[in-house]
Amino acid sequence: MDNSKKTASYKFNKNLLGLSNCKVLDDAKKEWDLLDCSKYEESKKCICQHKIKHCNFYLNNINGNMIIVGSACSKKFGLIQKETSKKSFPKPIIEIIKKGEYENIEDLFKYSAEVREIYIQYFKNKIISDVQTLWGSLHGSFSVGQRKSLEAKTLLILKEEIEEIEKKYKINWLLDLKIDLIEQIKELKKQVKEWEEEVGRAAKGLYEHMISSKNCEEEEEERKDRTYFINKYNKKIYI
């Protein structure tokens, strides 16, 4: 067996067990759930100590620890594709692992806390990205109020996603992010309400102007009618 592959496998097993409650590898794997994945410009550290850029975030469903797992480790150890057989890696993957850069994880719990912070920043970036995607998809026919209302709904979906994670895993380290989302949603709803009130006032003013104009026109027509009949009556008198 390739030495670098054996090292990666060994470090994965040891480190994974170190952050799991169960100390039997196959059972320990069942404690970990995939939250999300992302690609980074700067390398991050897989739980096997291999430096990677394609990161899968895993959260332990018992103790709340977090790890990053690379694509190769996820497939090899069944965290993403559990049906994947335990045959050796394809040759191109082996070559990548051979050339890969490793960095020791000196403190597993410090590593887990760092992964947690990376995930929080990832979620913050996800919020920005989702809002930018929304605004980019809206064409000119959407009013300011409609745009802000849709933005509030987008943030609400993300808030609910956080709440689902909090409820399922009994964690509170996403609380600050959730509170920030709640404040943003509240502010957007306030802006939508103000916009609706402004539109309402403008519509009311336009309506009143139309009524006033109509009344002026009606008054003018009545004046013309009165003048016509008066003139006609006067003609009859003097004939």
Cα–Cα nearest to 35, from 80, 84, 83: 80
Residue 146 has pLDDT above 70, yes or no: yes
Mean confidence (pLDDT) of the chain = 80
How far from 191 is each of 71, 139, 140, 155, CA to CA, in Å? Answer: 43, 20, 19, 15
pLDDT digits (tens, 9 = 90+) for 103-137: 889 899 999 999 999 999 999 999 999 999 998 88
Tell me, what's the pLDDT at 5? 44
The most confident of 73-82, 122-131, 138-147, by mean pLDDT: 122-131
Tell me, what's the pLDDT at 198? 85
Separation between Cα atoms, residue 199 and residue 156, nearest integer Å: 25
Separation between Cα atoms, residue 28 and residue 169, nearest integer Å: 16
Cα–Cα nearest to 215, from 201, 203, 207: 207
Tell me, what's the pLDDT at 239? 45
Residue 80 has pLDDT above 60, yes or no: no
Residue of 139 and 145 predicted with greater confidence: 145
pLDDT digits (tens, 9 = 90+) for 169-187: 999 999 999 999 999 999 9
Tell me, what's the pLDDT at 85? 37
The most confident of 48-57, 136-145, 225-234, by mean pLDDT: 48-57
81: phi then psi, degrees, rounded to nearest 5:
-110, 90
Separation between Cα atoms, residue 239 and residue 233, nearest integer Å: 10
Mean pLDDT of 52-57: 93
How far from 24 is each of 21, 30, 106, 232, CA to CA, in Å? Answer: 9, 10, 22, 111
Separation between Cα atoms, residue 44 and residue 67, nearest integer Å: 11
Residue 161 has pLDDT above 90, yes or no: yes
Burial 62-95 (b: 16+ CB within 10 A, else e): eeebbbbbbbbbbbbbbbeeeeeeeeeeeeeeee
